[in-house]
Structure 1
Amino acid sequence: MEPRFTIALIYDFDGTLSPGNMQEYDFIPAVGKSNKEFWSEANSLAEEQDADMVLTYMARMIQAAKSKGLSLRREAFQESGRRVTLFRGVGEWFSRINAYGARKGIRILHYINSSGLKEIIEGTEIAHEFRKIYACSFLYDVDGIAYWPAVAVNYTNKTQFIFKINKGVESVFDSKEVNRYIPEQERAVPFRRMIYVGDGTTDIPCMRLVKNFGGHSIAVYNPDQKGARKEMASLIHDNRVNHVCPA
């Protein structure tokens, strides 16, 4: 069946498709720190310097890896991604929903919109399912060694990628095309045909944006985490999301 229209499913990663933070499965243990210690150092640095916490966690990753003599190549981060655990059913989700869409004549595009590290996501078993992974990433020198943030994605600038998807602009670099006026009927994916799936406060601006423009936002929670559902349910009460369900 020829697709009648396109729908974009946009996912956060940590806490949405996978329990916990992606750095905690391999990278943080490899640098000899506890999860609490690593994040405390990164967040304390942000507070001391009045800096963005995403940039300081990326800086701490480089510093910690160098201090332990660990590889900072893209391939090393991708290898860490192979150790990331997914929520039950995530691996099968994409083929199931794609098949459902095909039966209904709907083309479904999947996107990641994450404050996590793109290179780690690229190493996960589901990386090939996504049309585009919007996430933090590093710049690499001529020897392929990460030395500086290339893209830092925090809770507010996550929203820029919603507009890029809306207009079919996949390049992070391209700020000209995404700001060009395009009539609503000519846009790649209208907001009303977007579904945003996220798990926490960093996703609220995106979830609210999609919902306000006629799309649907879904807040998910870890069913094994006590009190998580009650916390997420407040997002419905505050009119920030359409639905709340277990991840």
Structure 2
Amino acid sequence: MNVNAITKAAIVYDFDGTLSPGSMQQHSYLPEIGYDNPVDFWNEVKSETRSQDADEILVYMQMMINKSRDPVTRERLRFHGAGLPLFNGVSHWFDRMNRFAKERKIQLEHYVVSSGLREMIDGCSIRSEFTRVFASGFAYDEFGKAVWPSVAVNYTNKTQFLFPINKGIDNAWDNAAINQWVPMAERAIPFERMIFIGDGDTDIPSMKMVRHQGGCAIAVFDPSEWQKEATQNKIGRLIAEDRANYVVPADYSEGEQLDVTVRGVLGRIAREVGYRPEAVKAG
């Protein structure tokens, strides 16, 4: 083995319920537009989705515009993103994982594939940690006002954004590049060197695809929600239906289950491409 060779790998994250508790809109945006109880907003979204036979992501985005008295702008959404809470350990997670990977000759990259809003993620405290964010987003008029959804990332089309990561494409619009045939050996980040972390139902298609392609899927859950029957039922289904390789609490602190699990997967990736601790010492 060439001990100086670098191998690329990626961790791909959902955002809501994975890196941050709940939905990103519930913490400050929805209260600002008059929804003290976020459940009321999401119930309206579901009702409108059914009545219009529509896509739920498109409906919630349009309602964010229609229900607001003030213009929705990038700056306003980034402001709300700046205050997003994160699960324990997230703020130190990336440096720790990057360091662990680098010691094993792995160049680790981090991506987001989310049904949430890219503009709010752009404003959050950890945005600089991500190589690319693929998320729902608005189109804006010449005055900077959001007028309609330009990208909607829903439950099933999340999988399509794994291919730009796989092929090294950094945008959501280049259909020619994404459809171009690239030999597996020449792809930027093969699926078998990809770890997908999500919080359950909305991420099942992505988990299944990454696993089917030889990668690893990790389902996380909010530790504060563990006592709820719905949470336990969801975790039970994920295990019973063989949706994820691992199911662990969304605690990113050093030494917790998620930390140990991801380090183990990265260690396996390193060994599969030829890394041996004794070889490095001998060199």
TM-score tier after normalising by the smaller chain length: over 0.9
Percent of residue pairs bearing the same amino acid type: 45
- 1:144 counterpart residue number: 144
Per the TM alignment, residue 2 of structure 1 is displaced from its structure 2 partner at its CA by 4.5
CA distance in 2, matches of 1:231, 1:73: 36
Does 2:28 correspond to 1:32?
Answer: no
Q: In structure 2, how many angstroms separate the alpha carbons of the residues matched to 1:120 and 1:71? A: 15
Within 5 Å, give how 1:170-189 maps onto structure 2.
Answer: 170-189=170-189
- Post-superposition, which runs of at least 4 consecutive aligned residues in structure 1 deviate over 3 A? none
* RMSD (Å), alpha carbons: 1.2
User: What's the counterpart of residue 154 of structure 1?
Assistant: 154
Aligned partner of 1:50 in structure 2 is 53
Higher helix share: 2
State the alpha-carbon separation in 1 of the partners of residues 22 and 55 from structure 2: 20
d(CA) in 1 for partners of 2:126, 2:153? 20
CA distance in 2 between partners of 1:160 and 1:2 (Å): 33
Greater mean deviation of Cα atoms: 2-11 or 45-54: 2-11
Q: Which runs of 5+ in 2 are unaligned?
A: 251-283
2:215 and 2:245 mapped to 1: Cα distance?
9
CA contact (8 A) 1:12 1:198 kept: yes
For normalisation by structure 1, the TM-score amounts to 0.96
Letter in 1 for 2:54: A
1:54–1:152 contact (8 Å) kept in structure 2: yes
Q: 1:22 to 1:177 in 2, by over 3 A?
A: same
Question: 2-side partners of 1:100 and 1:40: how far apart?
Answer: 43
**Partner AA of 1:14 in structure 2:** D
Aligned residue for 1:87? Answer: 87
User: Could you say which residue in structure 1 is the equivalent of 2:25?
Assistant: 23
Matched residue count: 244
Q: TM-score, normalised by structure 2?
A: 0.84
Structural mapping, 1:53-132, within 5 Å: 53-65=56-68, 68=69, 70-132=70-132
Residue type matched to 1:13 in 2?
Answer: F
In 2, the alpha carbon distance for the partners of 1:125 and 1:89 equals 13
Take 1:2 and 1:88, find their aligned partners in 2: how far apart are those partners? Answer: 34
Give the equivalent residue in structure 1 for 2:259: none
Tell me, what secondary structure is at the counterpart of 2:54? coil
C-alpha deviations, 1:90-121, integer Å up to 9, x for none? Answer: 11100110111111111001000000011011
Aligned counterpart, 1:240: 243
| TM-fit CA distance, 1:71 | 3.5
Question: Given residue 38 of structure 1, which amino acid in structure 2 is its aligned partner?
Answer: F
Measure the CA separation in 1 of the matches of 2:33 and 2:59.
Answer: 16
Partners of 1:89 and 1:21 lie apart in 2 by: 19
Aligned with 1:231: secondary structure?
Answer: helix
Shift of 1:157: 0.6
Matched, 1:8 2:2: no
3-state SS of paired residue (1:9): strand
SS, match of residue 158 in structure 1 = helix
Distance 1:229 1:8 in 2: 29
Distance 1:230 1:245 in 2: 14
Cα drift, residue 140 of structure 1: 0.6
DSSP-derived class of the 1:22 partner: coil
